[in-house]
Amino acid sequence: MPMKAFDSSSLWRISQFRKARNEGRLHLEGDGDRATLLPTTLLADLRRLQSEGADGDVLEVIAACVRNHEAALLYLEHGEFVWPVTLFPREGLYHSPHDALELAASLALSGLRLLLVEPPGVRAPGHPMHERIAGDDKYRPLAGLLWAVALHGPRSVVLGEIGGRVAYRLVSSHAKELPPSKGAISSTILRLERQSASLGEIARWPGMSVERASRLLNALYLCGALMVTRSHPAARNAPVGWRGLFGRRR
């Protein structure tokens, strides 16, 4: 099936981005009240990722923002373009010129690469200080971004915090809040509502594989819909030889 046409007019070209960054003019004019540093807890998490060699892992950095409930502006490189995305985990929103789910249908997100993490340049809707609140059409449910990047982004193994000897199950109360799914993904979600299973077991279900199961588990976890249990009888380590055994890409 041919991909939908992609309108790149609202994105930076990578050459323009690098020039603006070198000249110190990435920020919008009139943002003098913008924070210049990320929150301490998020910075500590990002430095830990850097020490582990995972600071360029888009999904790990997104997970750090979600885990710390801290807003951040991510500049994501995709080919010759730079996609700016601002996460607002507390509000359950993200700000972007493009819808992540639509972008995933137009472009292969497997090539996403993190260029830079900065304090947000815009505020979330409803903020008491109205300056820097963007148009409503640029704010979207965060679950859509988490879902798209987890299922279609560059990371193909489970996140570090949900790896190891574990069993997984869906938090049923959050099932209705998940983005629409179909096929093997939909049937696997339904099955995880009824039973706990290890990564290896899920990978053997119809239409699944270790990579596909890992991606789905990451998506469910980031959307707050995954229960991770280390003491359940079904808990097992990842399949022997799978490069995601310890939850790191490289």
Give the count of beta carbons closer than 10 Å to the beta carbon of residue 71.
24
50-59, 64-73, 101-110, 160-169: segment of lowest average pLDDT: 101-110
pLDDT of residue 248: 43
Q: HSE, CB side, 13 Å, CA atoms: give it for residue 173.
A: 2
Give the pLDDT confidence of 74-99 residue by residue, as tens digits: 999 888 888 899 999 999 999 998 88
Q: What are phi and psi of 76, to 5 degrees?
A: -110, 125
User: Do 230 and 166 form a contact (C-beta atoms < 8 A)?
Assistant: yes
CA distance 238 to 242: 7
Q: Is the pLDDT of residue 149 over 60?
A: yes
pLDDT of residue 4: 45
Residue 159 banded pLDDT, cuts 50, 70, 90? very high
Residue 121 banded pLDDT, cuts 50, 70, 90? confident
CA distance 60 to 50: 11
The arithmetic mean of pLDDT across residues 151-156, rounded, is: 94
**CA torsion sign, 44 to 93 to 102 to 168?**
positive
Give the pLDDT confidence of 174-195 residue by residue, as tens digits: 888 899 899 999 999 999 999 9
The overall average pLDDT reported for the chain is 84
E-strand stretches of the chain = 12-13, 72-78, 81-88, 93-95, 113-118, 139-141, 167-170, 226-229
**Site of tokens 């750090």:** 64
Q: Is the pLDDT of residue 31 over 60?
A: no
Give the pLDDT confidence of 194-246 residue by residue, as tens digits: 999 999 999 999 999 999 999 999 999 999 999 999 999 898 888 866 554 44
Give the count of beta carbons closer than 10 Å to the beta carbon of residue 207.
11
Question: Using alpha carbons only, how large is the chain's radius of gyration in Å?
Answer: 19
